[in-house]
Amino acid sequence: MAMSDDFGHIEKIEAYLEDRLRDDELSQFLDQMNTDSQLRKDVENQRMAMHAVESAGAQDLKLELKSIHKDLYPKGGSASGNNLKYGLLIAGILSIGAIGFFIKSIDEKQTAIPVHSIKTEQDVADIEKKIVDNHIEAPKEEKETSSAEVVRDIPQPIQKAKKKEEKAASKSKLEEGEIIFNFEKDGIPEPELVLSDTIGKAYLFNGKHLRFYNIDQNKISGITYMELEESLYLVYNNNCFKLELNKSPQKFIQEKDKGIIRYLMME
């Protein structure tokens, strides 16, 4: 095939691949493809070649955009501008007071008690005793034992809780001990404590809102207290467990991988 013929041939294939053929041309071209195996092969070759160029072009553009970003927002700068920085600074100062209040509240009420390396039933019993010793408010309703249930159909509140968990889990630079603030409830900051590892720790809960996150995003785990439902949810190893409030100091035991026992107790 002469070069000029080839030009026409390639242009036709390009027009087909770029949807530029008129209806009658397209119909004719498709008929031809049905009977001409060489044309089908040429179309496939052209498609691959164009894919290659487009991929390279997109790669170039991405590099150019990265360079533009660096120009516009040099390291340390932010697209959000200085106003936000000042806003955050003020919010930070205000938050310090809130943290102080929160810590004081924990000290007074002993609402959250971390217990390290719980391994035996005796440890659980000791912690239960501590709950009583600390005079945590007794439930108004008659106490009854309840076991944790695995929730298969996730209720709406837990979906909301999971969104929050995802939010925290997606923050790659969280550090142990860091306190995140949520400003969702009437602008009142809700502190959330970040822990690197919750395995082997138990927490007594008598507050309004407490959540633990594992920094390792591959092992997302967390607990969330839903005030409206008066229930505590635990998400761990892709299972969601629900704990009912006002049903005695509850104990939840989940055995995993021979010997790893997670306890979660709440009132």
Partner 1 sequence: MYKNDEEVLLGLRSNRQDALKYVYKTVYPSVLSYVKNNSGSEDEAQDIFQEAMIVFYQKATKVDFTLSAAIKTFVFAVAKNLWLKKLRDSKKHKYIGHYENVLSDNDDEKELNEHQEKVKATLVNFLEELGDPCRKLLVLYYYEKRSMEEISSIMKYSNSNSAKNQKYKCLQRLKKVVPGDLLVNL
Q: Is 110 in the site for partner 1 (CB under 8 A)?
A: no
Task: List, as one string, the DSSP characters of 92-157.
Answer: HHHHHHHHHHHHHHHHHHT----EE---SHHHHHHHHHHHHHTTPPPPSSPP-----EE-SS--HH
130-142: buried (b, 16+ CB within 10 Å) or exposed (e) per residue? bbeeeebeeeeee
Counting residues that bind partner 1 (by CB under 8 A) gives 49
Between CA 80 and CA 73 the distance in angstroms is 10
Binding flags for partner 1, 137-176, as an x/- string (CB under 8 A): ---------------x-x-------xx--xx-xxxx----
Q: Closer CB to partner 1, residue 46 or residue 110? A: 46
Residue in this structure with the two tokens 């939010």, named with its chain if needed: 167
Q: Which of 78, 117, 122, 156 binds partner 1 (CB under 8 A)?
A: 78
Pair of tokens at residue 129: 């005793």
- Closest contact distance (angstroms) between CB of 53 and partner 1 is 4
Say whether 222 sits in a helix, a strand or coil: strand
Candidates 95-103, 138-146, 175-183, 236-244: pick the segment binding partner 1 (CB under 8 A).
236-244
Candidates 29-37, 60-68, 124-132, 175-183; binding stretch for partner 1 (CB under 8 A):
60-68
Which residue from 27, 31, 32, 49 is in contact with partner 1, where contact means CB under 8 A? 49
Q: Which of 8, 31, 61, 176 binds partner 1 (CB under 8 A)?
A: 61
Taking CB under 8 A as the criterion, the residue among 68, 99, 103, 253 binding partner 1 is: 68
The footprint of partner 1 on residues 1-30 (CB under 8 A) is 3, 6-7, 10
SS3 of 227, please? coil
38 lies in the site for partner 1, by CB under 8 A: no
Token look-up 């507050």 returns 207
Is residue 239 involved in binding partner 1 (CB under 8 A)? yes
Q: Should residue 83 be labelled a site residue for partner 1 when binding is judged by CB under 8 A?
A: no
Q: Could you say whether residue 245 binds partner 1 (CB under 8 A)?
A: no
Neighbouring C-alpha atoms within 13 Å toward the C-beta of 156: 2
Q: Using CB under 8 A, which of 2, 72, 93, 228 touches partner 1?
A: 72
* Interaction of residue 86 with partner 1, rule CB under 8 A: no
Residue (of 238, 210, 10) closest to 110 by Cα position = 210
Residue 108 sits at the vertex; the CA angle it makes with 107 and 109, to the nearest 5 degrees, is 100
- CA neighbours within 13 Å on the CB side: how many for 62? 6
Interface ranges with partner 1 (CB under 8 A): 3, 6-7, 10, 41, 44-46, 48-62, 64-66, 68-69, 71-72, 78-81, 152, 154, 162-163, 166-167, 169-172, 220, 237-240
